Structure 1
Amino acid sequence: MFIAYVIVGIALALMLTVSGRTKLARDERIVEGITGLGVPLGWFPFLAASEIAGAIGLVVGIWWAPIGIAAAIGVTLYFVGAVGAHLRKGDIKGLPPAAVLLLAAVATLALRAASA
């Protein structure tokens, strides 16, 4: 289970880092998609910081299980909110990326908890 956590956790951490970077860079596609959900542009630094902190926590969690579990819980909650925002606005087109990341976060949480 531990090796599976390392693989899935690092993959998710990379995806979170890229996602956070696009928010900080205010990539036009990302800005349109997220502001279309009603998220103010002023929240982008907080959202990016949350994703980057989650990525760091998942990597640190390789060596210290409680941090990995806490980071996986935080990332899971983050993407529950993202999926909820897409569903609330009826944005079916933008839903799959958030749903895939939610599933990856849940898998990461389950794998780290099982290997702790």
Structure 2
Amino acid sequence: MNITVDGVRPVATSLAPAVGALVRGSRIAGTIRFRDDSWATAYLLGSAEGVVIGPVVTSSVWVGRDGARTFQWDVVDGVGNLTRVYRTVTVDNTGPTLRVTKAPRTGPRSRARSK
């Protein structure tokens, strides 16, 4: 009988997009890199891609309307040690607007004098 003693959770070594990143689009991709002494799986909460095994996982989620959006990654190793990582980004899919508050007077005007 083999007994595995592993009290060490997987460690996230990098996460993209960056904290506070400005993102655009209806789906946003995220990537997590992690390490563990054994194998581990990662899952981006809300993703349709499912669970992926490996040290680098890329997945995507629907972002919805503009504003702050927090992603949650769960990384679980073979014996159930869980690391939960959060990343907050800003979704901005609304273009800038322009409002004219005062129009120029009608007719040509010139301050230059001809010689």
TM-score normalized by structure 2?
Answer: 0.25
Q: In terms of Rg, which structure is larger?
A: 2
TM-score normalized by structure 1?
Answer: 0.25
Larger RCO: 1 or 2 (CA < 8 Å, sep 6+)? 1
Task: Name the structure with the higher helix share.
Answer: 1
Task: Name the structure with the higher strand share.
Answer: 2
